[in-house]
Amino acid sequence: MATPRRHAPLVLTFLILHAASSSFCRLSAATKYAHPGRVTEASTDNGLTAEVSAYGSDKKLDTEAGCPRFDALLDRRVADPTGAFTMAIASDHTNYRMQYCKDGYFPRTFTTNDNHADKIPVTRGRIRLIRASGTHPQATRLLHDDTKRAVLFLASTNVEAFIAATNALPAPEQHLIKTLAIIFPAQQRPPITEAEVRNGLDQLIAALQSDLHYFWMANPKEFAAAINAYPDFTQYLKERPFKTAGDDAANNPTLAYVSVSAPGPWTCEQPPPFKQERQSFAPTDTALELWGKINNPAPGQHVLLQWTEEAFIPALVTSAPTEASASSCLWARLPIAGTALATHTADYRLEVRLSSGTQPAATWIEPIAVIYFSIILPGTR
């Protein structure tokens, strides 16, 4: 009889620990992080009572009244009359997709939102929604004014840090910021560090790229007419065409990845390694191959490649349209030998375009990816 009494405290301790552990797990699972944001009308900056939805999956289910629906709904709210809202997302999700919809407005998607801590604003914080037609001139003017105001604000906080941070930007962004801040304001605010200025410029540029891309997607023809009133924006888009991004990717085909290489035994499962930096090739490679994968492909989606010398706009060589496979795999080949690419050592750019319809003859949309590379003739460089 003594043996059970000797082990009873151990059994009791186990039960207490087990119960405490179970309670802690239930408490942790119930924890939710709050994420504020604001939806505005792109042409007026007034608040919009838009429907805002958070999802835990990229799997698209259907479209309801023009608003895409996805699997794994995490939270859904309606913004108040000022456009403000706060999402509540369970802490076991590190990321979530946000969908913004309003009758009469083009829907907007952000595939990446940070859920690592409480009170982190949704991506971009302020979300502009634009009508599908009729408001592009006003919306573009407001975006231009807001961008310039933000640039001048950063310049006024620490001029020396602003100059250093601007000079560290890639050439297209550097040209744009210098054009917008051609007249520097006198420093009027307490100085902030160069790192803070750099972070401010990075956020400003990311928001601008996202807004310009969204405006263009809503109505390409109206966007093209409206943007021509702003030479600094027009020049920026020539130097930095729209590229694949998480924002708004749900509504249009985009490239999941893209790699360019000399011919090799590549497949969609084993594409050539992706390289961020400029690559060099020689005419002896005979051809270049592009491998990629398309997100949200349309039936019969085709791809077109255009190779241009970096310093010039007209295309030197254009590939034949290539249809993506059923697995969304993308492959295209363009020869070097016997083409303008093999005539002299030069820097080039490859523009990747997808058809906006199901036929190769359909209108080709603006480049969704741009890759820079060099052709080097033997004995040069």
Q: What are phi and psi of 309, to 5 degrees?
A: -70, 140
In a domain, 309, yes or no: yes
pLDDT at 202 over 70: yes
pLDDT at 366 over 60: no
pLDDT at 65 over 60: yes
pLDDT at 20 over 60: no
Task: Please state whether 287 falls in left (phi above 0), alpha (psi between -120 and 50) or beta.
Answer: beta
Q: Please indicate, yes or no, whether residues 260 and 369 belong to a single structural domain of this protein.
A: yes
Q: Please indicate, yes or no, whether residues 344 and 323 belong to a single structural domain of this protein.
A: yes
Which contacts qualify for 58-64: CB closer than 8 Å, 24 or more apart?
A: 58/97, 58/111, 58/250, 60/250, 60/296
In a domain, 324, yes or no: yes
Mode of pairing for the β-strands spanning 302-309 and 126-129: unpaired
pLDDT at 74 over 80: yes
Mean pLDDT of the 178-191 span: 72
| Per-residue pLDDT, 248 | 46
Q: Please indicate, yes or no, whether residues 277 and 213 belong to a single structural domain of this protein.
A: no
Instruction: State whether residue 362 is helix, strand or coil.
Output: coil
Q: Please indicate, yes or no, whether residues 308 and 359 belong to a single structural domain of this protein.
A: yes
pLDDT, greater one: 244 or 340: 340
Instruction: State whether residue 363 is helix, strand or coil.
Output: coil
List pLDDT tens digits, range 271-307: 777 665 667 878 777 777 777 776 655 556 666 666 6
Q: Please indicate, yes or no, whether residues 147 and 180 belong to a single structural domain of this protein.
A: yes
pLDDT, greater one: 132 or 234: 234
| Per-residue pLDDT, 194 | 81
- The answer to which of 43-47, 78-82, 168-172 has the lowest mean pLDDT is 168-172
pLDDT at 322 over 80: no
Q: Please indicate, yes or no, whether residues 270 and 367 belong to a single structural domain of this protein.
A: yes
List pLDDT tens digits, range 152-179: 988 888 888 899 999 988 888 999 999 9
Q: Please indicate, yes or no, whether residues 359 and 270 belong to a single structural domain of this protein.
A: yes
- Structural domain range at position 116: 31-129
| CATH code, domain carrying 304 | 2.60.40.10
pLDDT, greater one: 158 or 39: 39
| Per-residue pLDDT, 168 | 87
H/E element holding 379? none
| CATH code, domain carrying 109 | 2.60.40.1120
Q: CA-to-CA distance for 30 and 267, rounded, in angstroms?
A: 44
- Could you say which of 212, 239, 266 is where a domain stops? 239
In a domain, 26, yes or no: no
Cα angle, residue 145 at apex, residues 190 and 179 outer, rounded to 5°: 75
- Could you say which of 129, 147, 174 is where a domain stops? 129
Q: Please indicate, yes or no, whether residues 279 and 231 belong to a single structural domain of this protein.
A: no
List pLDDT tens digits, range 224-256: 888 889 999 988 887 776 643 444 444 445 556
In a domain, 298, yes or no: yes
Average pLDDT, the chain: 76
Q: Please indicate, yes or no, whether residues 120 and 204 belong to a single structural domain of this protein.
A: no
Tokens 């054009």, located at residue? 179
Q: Please indicate, yes or no, whether residues 121 and 234 belong to a single structural domain of this protein.
A: no
| Per-residue pLDDT, 188 | 59
In a domain, 381, yes or no: no
Domain count, the chain: 3
In DSSP terms, 86 is beta-bridged to 36
- The answer to which of 169-173, 317-321, 356-360 has the lowest mean pLDDT is 356-360
Q: Please indicate, yes or no, whether residues 117 and 52 belong to a single structural domain of this protein.
A: yes
- The answer to which of 26-35, 147-156, 176-185 has the lowest mean pLDDT is 26-35
pLDDT at 374 over 70: yes
In a domain, 9, yes or no: no
pLDDT, greater one: 198 or 312: 198
In a domain, 248, yes or no: no
Instruction: State whether residue 290 is helix, strand or coil.
Output: strand
In a domain, 15, yes or no: no
Q: Please indicate, yes or no, whether residues 188 and 224 belong to a single structural domain of this protein.
A: yes
- Could you say which of 129, 150, 179 is where a domain stops? 129
Q: What are phi and psi of 75, to 5 degrees?
A: -165, 150
DSSP label at residue 286 = -
pLDDT, greater one: 25 or 220: 220
